[in-house]
Amino acid sequence: MPGGRGRIGVILPANNAGMEYDLWKMAPEGVTIHSTRMRPTKGCEPENVEEFEKELKQAYSLLEEVSDVVIYGRTYGTHRHANVIKKVIKDVVIPEESAYELLKKLNVKRLWVGTPYIKERTLEEVEWWKEKGFEIVGFDGLGKIRGIDISNTPIFTIYRLVKRHLDEVIKADAVYIACTALSTYEAVQYLHEDLGIPVISENVAAMWGALNKIRVKAKLPGFESI
């Protein structure tokens, strides 16, 4: 049944100014977004896991009472320490894991990957998807490092990142756009309309995962409802 009610909590790094916009735009009637922040960090994995767990518990404590589900809207700690996140937060949505689940449901095998990152970080993302069993037909990044610079990326820049590689993209079953700090709500709609294939961003996948957990159905941008 479409529609429904629920509260989605979001934990973000302090320099992410993109994810909340996307979640607000996607939230169906009756679903509200409630966010808190953690200090930004360098790298993708915590050097001190105990300190990471302590900070995460503190952030979660600010959301637990007002949230039916929590999106952990960061890459930090998700690849090698997802077990820590899942231990601290009940009913957590980890965006990349949600993207994997969505792409599998869409029967995607060949994937084109776009990121806002520098080459080294983009290659890490590509390898992660290869390890998950996808054939990567191509990829590119925008060469950005700082979270706020990523969040300031214009819609047309995201659109052009994908369209300038059309010769590769047409070989893909879907396009994936990484990074929760990158606001993609409008870009994935335009690209899906132009390309005729699913265009899944990390933020779209996070919302899809959260709505599934609270059993709310809604039309989301970038793909046909499943």
- What is the average per-residue pLDDT within 203-207? 98
User: What would the pLDDT profile of 124-164 be if each residue is shown by its tens digit?
Assistant: 999 999 999 999 999 999 999 999 999 999 999 999 999 99
SS3 annotation, 148-173 = HHHHCCCHHHHHHHHHCCHHHHCCCC
Is residue 1 one of the residues assigned to a domain? no
- What is the average per-residue pLDDT within 185-203? 98
Is residue 221 one of the residues assigned to a domain? no
Residue 89: Cβ within 10 Å count: 23
d(CA 165, CA 27): 31
pLDDT at 1: 36
Same domain, 101 and 194: yes
Spell 72-83 as b/e; 16+ CB within 10 A means b: bbbbbbbeebee
User: What would the pLDDT profile of 175-188 be if each residue is shown by its tens digit?
Assistant: 999 999 999 999 99
Q: Which of 94, 115, 139 is the last residue of a domain?
A: 94
d(CA 94, CA 210): 9
Domain, as residue range, for 116 = 97-204
Is 4's pLDDT higher than 80?
Answer: no
Residue 215 binned pLDDT confidence (cut-offs 50, 70, 90): very high
Same domain, 86 and 156: no
Instruction: Report yes or no: 104 and 78 within 8 Å, Cβ to Cβ.
Output: no
Same domain, 89 and 107: no
Same domain, 116 and 45: no
* Encoded amino acid at 27, one letter: A
Q: Which of 73, 94, 115 is the last residue of a domain?
A: 94
The number of domains in the chain is 2
- Kindly report the CATH number assigned to the domain that includes residue 61: 3.40.50.1860
Same domain, 102 and 158: yes
Residues 6+ apart with CB under 8 A from 95: 71, 72, 73, 180, 202, 203, 205, 206, 209
Residue 3 binned pLDDT confidence (cut-offs 50, 70, 90): low
- pTM for the predicted model, two decimal places: 0.95
